[in-house]
Homo-oligomer: A and B are copies of this chain.
Amino acid sequence: MNEPRIQDVARLAGVSTTSISNFLNNRMEQMRPDTRLKIQQAIAQLGYRPNSAARQLKTGVAAMVGLLVPSLANQFFGALACAIETAAARHGCQVMTFSTFRDPDRERAVMADLLAYGAQGIVTGSALNDTDHLATIATRCPVVAFDIRHTLDKHGTITTVSVDNVAAAALAVEHLAALGHRSIALVTPPPYTLNRQDRLKGFQQAVARAGLTGELIIADATEAPRDPHGDTQLFELGRSAAARLLAAASRPTAAIGINDMMAIGIGVGLRQLGKQVPRDFSLIGIDDIFFALAHDPPLTTVRQPIQAMADTAVQRIRAPGAATAGDGGLFAPQLIVRASTAAPRT
């Protein structure tokens, strides 16, 4: 309603709209310093802001990147959104975030919306089953898949950014081994997604390397209600897995949760069973979500360098071609030792 327009600025500054446009687009060399100053003042005085719709209509792109996540209510993705926003702000561009609630139809619709909005590119932290669709989108704008590396490699049109999940799990194993644990378990839901498969692989490789006994506890997803919003499911699965952990044939003295949510669930379950962490049992997660810190005891975990990953993701969108499809984009995880791991009782 009654926003100032470029012509108003031009009139007030006593210059042409062309100069204003040049000013707005940082072509300072094409005007005298005093012109520049006058323009600056006029813009400030009017509170002028270029209309992005018009600009986009003309140039074809918006200074905006899209972000898809399963749900912002999920702590990990909230943090991711934060990191992407921070990264985008460094490029002077906005983020439009959508929760897909893991609904493929909604996912498709939302991608189309983003395209209609002229998004420069799309970062997706939402694991699609329909990768062909993703590839189609990728022909229209750069698509960066966050933490869902392998699924998409085959198409070769999508770049990916991911923590090295194999290394992450290995880091957890090595930490436990160094503490003296000889029998450990990995607790995970059925590893359908490839990042979970990677973590599983890392676990098995590291266990073999260290000569440990490694048991796999598959938490049956039907044991807890699905929850597309906040991922309470993983927490509940972890909690109910605690009993199986204690009853396991290999008598593990430590467990790795496939991620922090699961580890926190395990921690609560163990305590409800009268076990004390880390005195009776060691526990370690992966991701380093905020509540790892708020857990009692503070959860030892393997951190994903989210901000660095987000920076790379946005960079790839702003400068596609810089990275070729399928190239590395693998980030090194970092062990964060807190208080949920200790040497096993002898």
**A contacts, CB < 8 Å to B:** 1, 3, 49-54, 56-57, 62, 71-75, 77-79, 81-82, 85-86, 94-99, 112-113, 115-118, 139-141, 229-230, 232, 235, 261, 264-265, 267-268, 271-272, 290-291, 293-294, 296
Contacts and interface: CB of A to CB of B under 8 A. Distances in A.
State the oligomeric state as a number of copies. 2
A90 to B, nearest CB: 13
15 contacts: A49-B115, A49-B116, A51-B116, A51-B118, A53-B54, A53-B57, A54-B57, A72-B72, A74-B78, A78-B81, A79-B230, A94-B98, A96-B96, A235-B294, A264-B294
A82 B57 contact: no
A62 B291 CA distance: 37
A59 B231 CA distance: 40
**Most chain B C-beta atoms within 10 Å of own C-beta, residue among A57, A62, A232, A290:** A290
Nearest to A63: B113
B78 A116 contact: no
Given A49-B116, A52-B116, A53-B57, A235 B71 contact: no
A39 to B, nearest CB: 17
Given A53-B118, A95-B97, 14 more contacts: A1-B139, A3-B115, A49-B112, A49-B116, A51-B116, A53-B54, A54-B57, A72-B78, A73-B78, A75-B290, A77-B78, A94-B98, A272-B296, A296-B296
B99 A96 contact: no
A134 to B, nearest CB: 15
Nearest to A59: B53
A82 B296 CA distance: 28
A271 B1 CA distance: 57
Contact of A294 (B85, B140, B229, B268): B268
Contacts of A118: 51-53
Give the residue among A50, A75, A99, A261 with the most B Cβ atoms within 10 A.
A75
Contacts of A112: 49
Contacts of A272: 296
B85 A99 contact: yes
A53 B56 contact: yes
